[in-house]
Amino acid sequence: MPTLALRGKIIITGEIEAVTGLHIGGAAAGLDIGGIDNPIIRHPVTREPYIPGSSLRGKMRSLLDRHFGKEANHFIQRREPVVRVHVCEDERAYAECPVCQIFGVTPGEPGRRGWTNLKPARLIVRDVYLAQNHEATERLRRAKTDLPFTEIKWEAAIDRITAAAVPRQNERVPAGAVFAPFEFVYSLYDLNGGGSNRDLEWLRYVFKAMELLEDDYLGGYGSRGAGKIRFQKINVVFKSRQYYEGGAEAEIVRLAENVDDVRQLPLAEYADRLRKLIRGG
């Protein structure tokens, strides 16, 4: 009988700054003021924009898929627009795939129903709201923006023959907005008594996904300037199994202050320390 034991959780927090305008699409029916072609998603109660965890997580996974050259072999949606992701088809491939280990595999399809048992996703990504009591948010509240907390960016599609222009509107969170705290929770498991070394080793790919995202874009219209973000004020806390059993103080592991520093960090610098803490649990 397979066994799965939690050995601890690594919690990564910090801020996300919109370096350029940020558009994460929502439903037009959810807006109080109509007339926007492409509205953003807003909190249903406060009406403030936020970053859904699904948007962050999905983008990080897709960037790692491309980084490792993974085949997009699993259809999320077959109708237009077609949406495909990579999902390992068998347990041998899964054992060597950091993407599916970190983000999980989809159970329930014939042929995968058996071996996907006890194969949890390691990474949880929370929704991220506008930073409260933050100077950037207060500045945004005072700004005379087109809609609450957002700007309306006008664009035009140009006919290549007649040069006729078709204007369109995109709602964006202005550059300089700060969303915080973001929270990523990475679980360390011991599967069948094999230890957590693989989970520790692959933690670095979570930071790699963050680095890739900083040099890509989040949300829509990235090729037209929107969606550049920056992770900042990064903090990493490790909570061992002992912490959850007895309420002991969490060991704080500060890796770096920004993603560039994390990229240079040797694996052994944090993995050895975490291994000792796990054994202590």
- Model pLDDT for residues 57-110, shown as the tens digit of each residue: 999 999 999 999 999 888 888 888 788 889 888 889 998 999 999 999 877 666
Q: What totals of helices (H) and strands (E) does the chain contain, helices first?
A: 8, 11
Burial of 156 (0-12, 13-18, 19+ CB in 10 A): exposed
Entry pTM: 0.87
Q: How far apart are CA 140 and CA 53, in angstroms?
A: 22
Distances in whole angstroms, Cα of residue 177 to Cα of each of 59, 160, 174, 275: 20, 36, 6, 38
Q: How far apart are CA 202 and CA 67, in angstroms?
A: 14
Q: Is the pLDDT of residue 268 over 70?
A: no
Instruction: Tell me the two tokens of residue 42.
Output: 């807003």
Q: Tell me, what's the pLDDT at 22? A: 95
Q: Is the pLDDT of residue 245 over 60?
A: yes
Q: Tell me, what's the pLDDT at 131? A: 96
- Model pLDDT for residues 132-172, shown as the tens digit of each residue: 999 999 999 998 888 889 998 888 888 888 888 888 888 99
Mean pLDDT across 9-13: 91
User: Where do the H-state alpha helices sit in 81-193?
Assistant: 91-95, 98-103, 135-142
> Which residue matches tokens 């929370």?
126
Q: Tell me, what's the pLDDT at 159? A: 83
Q: Is the pLDDT of residue 248 over 60?
A: no
Confidence of residue 255 (pLDDT cuts 50, 70, 90): low
Q: Tell me, what's the pLDDT at 210? A: 92
Q: Tell me, what's the pLDDT at 33? A: 47
Q: Is the pLDDT of residue 194 over 90?
A: no
Q: Tell me, what's the pLDDT at 31? A: 45
Q: How far apart are CA 262 and CA 264, in angstroms?
A: 5
